[in-house]
Amino acid sequence: MFDFLKQLFNKQDRGLTFVIFDDQEPEPSNSYRFKPARLLYLFYGSLAVTALFVFVLLKFTPVSELFASQAEKNLREQAIAISEQVRMLQDSLQARDAQLNQMKRAISTGNDTVFSVDQAEQGVPNNDSKKNWEHESFYAVDTISDTVLLKNEIVFSDLFEKEPVFPTSYPLDGTLTRGFNPEKGHYGVDIATERGTPFKAMADGAVVNQNWSVNYGWILYIQHSGNMVSIYKHAEDLSKSIGDIVSKGDILGTAGNTGIMSSGPHLHVEIWKNGIPQNPNLYLIKS
């Protein structure tokens, strides 16, 4: 077989006759005349047509989007896994630092360690440990529910005499793309919009927290009367700081595509009451 192919390549431009013999017939059954060069041209042409077809299929059909979306999904999952590992490592380091600080205070002051912890739980830390106690309490929180529970004195206080008026309009113009689904850890709604679209306060309140998260980008927490808190995530930037008093309709910042959990420009909105997540669709109407 190899010798036959070698002869074909050596005699590309010459005309050859291909004869088929039948073992039971003495005379040749069929014969075909061809040029090996034409077979090569046909082979190369088929490869070119196949390559062109694959290029058009990947360039102008949704097939390429399937490959791209899968690659993006895999990359996002890897980024989330890495961020979780970093968070757990940070928690371990913070817990270790807290234990070391308590040991240092006990050794340097001679105070009983358990007594110091009891003071911190009662909210009456001594002067030597006040700064460290506040630092440890703040960094011991990572989830939204823990943050709300940590600020019980704020959540269950009456900052304003007027109760929030609901239902009210959406904090920005956009399209609702994902609803309230606490079973899957989605404690709010997603409103898709253009990047840089300003969003507003849904009711009078005070900014009680503002931070940056790897998963959610810029986050803003606003305390309202009636033991209610509204939370805004994936912001491009924020125009309010902790301690600012805001009125209904005030600009709080602009929506963006920040955080590895973001799938596009949008604003994630949550409403909590008495430390329990509420369905924002029961409080908001599209204007």
Single residue among 23, 38, 60 that ends a domain in this structure: 60
Alpha-carbon distance of 58 to 65, in angstroms, equals 8
What pLDDT is recorded for position 22?
66
How many domains does one find in the chain?
Answer: 3
**Residue 44 in domain:** yes
Q: Which residue range is the domain that position 277 belongs to?
A: 168-285
Residue predicted with more confidence, 123 or 163? 163
Same domain, yes or no: 71 and 54: no
**Residue 209 in domain:** yes
**Residue 3 in domain:** no
Alpha-carbon distance of 190 to 179, in angstroms, equals 7
The kind and range of the H/E element at 60 are helix 36-60
Q: pTM higher than 0.85 for the full model?
A: no
Which of these, 247, 105, 242, lies nearest to 165 by C-alpha position? 247
Mean pLDDT estimate for the chain = 75
**Residue 155 in domain:** no
pLDDT over 90 (residue 15): no
For 24-47, how does the pLDDT look when each residue is reduced to its tens digit (9 = 90+)? 666 656 666 666 677 777 778 888
What pLDDT is recorded for position 87?
78
Same domain, yes or no: 174 and 279: yes
Percent with pLDDT over 70 in the chain: 63
**Residue 256 in domain:** yes
**Residue 157 in domain:** no
Same domain, yes or no: 56 and 96: no
Same domain, yes or no: 276 and 174: yes
Instruction: Tell me the torsion sign for CA atoms 168, 172, 178, 183.
Output: negative
What pLDDT is recorded for position 151?
43
What pLDDT is recorded for position 54?
82
Which DSSP string corresponds to 237-252? EES--TT-EE-TT-EE
